[in-house]
Structure 1
Amino acid sequence: MSTPGAPAGPGSVAVLVALLGRRVREEIDAGLAPLDLSMRHFSALGHLARRPGPSYSELGRRAGVTVQSIQATLRHLEGLGAVERRSEPGRGRVAALHVTAEGRRLLAAAEKAVAEVDRVMLASLPRPERALVARTLAGMVTRMGEETT
């Protein structure tokens, strides 16, 4: 997947993005830690807030993780009072997952923590370039087959 003429090794865009991604993830996890959340908890809450009602397996597929991983994530979120399971007509014994008022509060606080990581990371760029970086990265993520929402 390399581009002809693109630098190889440590100067490649792919390597730089991977290095930046690891560092940004560390910063996000550090910012979320006081909320007793991690990036995977934040991601699950975001998915549920945007599209409430999936089962564990549906949410796991959306998030690109195993059912066991999403179950552990959701157990933690349920323990925080951020997520609840509801039985819904027509779903049989499968419970639908929903974000609670506490979950919405945690999600808002987590979004502020992530926005602070954005602020620090983009501080040296003029505002118009920040929007360009965001659009460019979103396009790259989409081309690599990931969801940005």
Structure 2
Amino acid sequence: MEFKDIATVSGKPGLYKILKPSRSGVILESLDDKKGKLVVGAAQRVSLLSEISIYTLTEEGASPLKEVMIKIEKEFKGDTGLEGAEKEEYQAFMKHILPEFDEDRVYASDVKKLISWYHIIRKECPEVLEEKPETASKNSKEEKDEDTDKGEE
């Protein structure tokens, strides 16, 4: 499974795997032990996790959710320690993971939902949280390019 195959439905808890489109919408399967199926029509709002970002104060204005979740996995390996946490603890956690996040537009409830989704993904499809080799090789290529540029100065 890939990040683009996971969705959230407005007004419903949890995450869903996209199975296939139907005439009236899309067929989803819950990412939990029940594996319940659900047909979602055009009237309900379905968001792909690959299209969700977290507001930042950077020039781009947002950081993709996938990158944030990969950072959480690298740092915490599933143990975020935020069960039953206070608002300030969620904000501090977010500041630690993404220092440039926009505190005025990212609420504690958003961070709580992020942590909830992270735990669901880690349990049901942990391969999604692994950094892809092409991302790592792209980063190392950029570093080599930077080193080459420095050598030419």
TM-score by length of 2: 0.31
Question: Which structure shows the higher helix fraction?
Answer: 1
TM-score by length of 1: 0.31
Question: Which structure shows the higher strand fraction?
Answer: 2
